[in-house]
Amino acid sequence: MEKTKVAIIGSGNIGTDLMIKILRTSQELEMSVMVGIDPDSDGLARARRLGIATTHEGIEGLIRMPEWKQIKVIFDATSAKAHHFNWSHIQQYADKKIVDLTPAAVGPYLIPSVNFDENLDVKNVNMVTCGGQATIPIVAAVSRVAKVHYGEIVASIASKSAGPGTRANIDEFTETTARAIEKVGGADKGKAIIILNPAEPPLVMRDTVLVLSESADREAVRDSIHQMVETVQQYVPGYTLHQEVQFEEVPAESPVFIEGLGYRHGLKTVVLLKVKGAGHYLPEYAGNLDIMTSAALAAGEKLIEVSY
């Protein structure tokens, strides 16, 4: 089967890891061009050593390359601000689709385990954030069983795994993840917090998900969560429950106050997750970056499967 040619914009950690994943694991995608803005970046140097065409002139340089005509999918692994600029150049080309790994949220949110089939006919899909990819499936799993009033997530990642792009996007991370908890996870209200943990040796990504829903059968909720974890593991093998699901009933006579919603009661569900990276390019502790590149790869393969 002839593979579909793709380009990656952003030669940092995320872009380079995605490139290695495509080269090693994808049966549908073929790396055509790696794009950056720093001619001396490790990502561009590594791409050149692997025989992949490169440009250090950003999206404008990519469009000038002869390879541009054959490229069908572009992965944007830059920053939220840069994505708006890149999209302004790409959107006019009817035969191109873009998978956005930044928190820019120009296109609809895409969580492969939750809403794959709803976003197959659009040109630009947004992969939310690493915290969103790890935790929104859990909120959605509870939503399948009971109406969710509130979803709160805390993503703790190793400081060493947070490069300049991640640090520049902290505000967008919290805003985009919170909105996606509501739009994709099904919560009436969402909140997201990210912690950069400076511990040495670096710790793998840990995520805590707290969900307050209407009262529901605990076994049904637990089963839904376990099924969702298995679904995510199909494209992120290092995604696991760190502890068993925890429940607590919030009684009607002692409700909790949720800003923007008022007082709510019901079933509180707490899920602790661990995300270990595959170690393709990044260290195993960088599960936050691995889950983004794994989800983006799954999205890119699905988009070309349907469209071309």
Total domains in the fold of the chain: 2
252 and 231, same structural domain?
Answer: yes
Contact, 6 vs 95, CB < 8 A? no
Residue 217 has pLDDT above 70, yes or no: yes
Together in a domain, 56 and 104: yes
- pTM value? 0.95
Q: Looking at the predicted structure, is the pLDDT value of residue 160 above 60? A: yes
Q: Which tokens hold the place of 209?
A: 């998900």
Residue 230 has pLDDT above 70, yes or no: yes
**pLDDT for the residue numbered 113:** 96
Q: What is the pLDDT of residue 307?
A: 60
Q: Return mean pLDDT, the chain.
A: 95
pLDDT of the residue at 164: 79
User: Is it the case that residue 308 has pLDDT exceeding 60?
Assistant: no
Query: Catalytic residue at 130?
Result: yes
Cβ atoms of 101 and 296 within 8 Å: the answer is yes
Q: Kindly report, residue by residue over 95-125, the tens digit of the pLDDT.
A: 999 999 999 999 999 999 999 888 778 999 9
Residues 94 and 194 placed together within one structural domain of the fold: no
Residue 162 φ/ψ, nearest 5 degrees? -100, 100
**Which tokens sit at 219?**
């076994």
Q: Which residue out of 130, 153, 187, 267 is catalytically annotated? A: 130
Residues 302 and 2: their CA atoms lie apart, in Å, by: 15
Provide the CATH number for the domain around residue 256: 3.30.360.10
Asked if residue 303 and residue 253 are part of one domain, the reply reads: no
Claim to verify: residue 33 and residue 159 sit in the same structural domain? no
Is pLDDT at 73 greater than 90 in this prediction?
yes
DSSP state, residue 255: P
Give the per-residue pLDDT at 206: 97
What is the domain range of residue 210?
Answer: 130-284
- 102 lies in the same domain as 161: no
Question: How many C-beta atoms surround the C-beta of residue 171 within 10 A?
Answer: 10
Report the CATH number at residue 75: 3.40.50.720
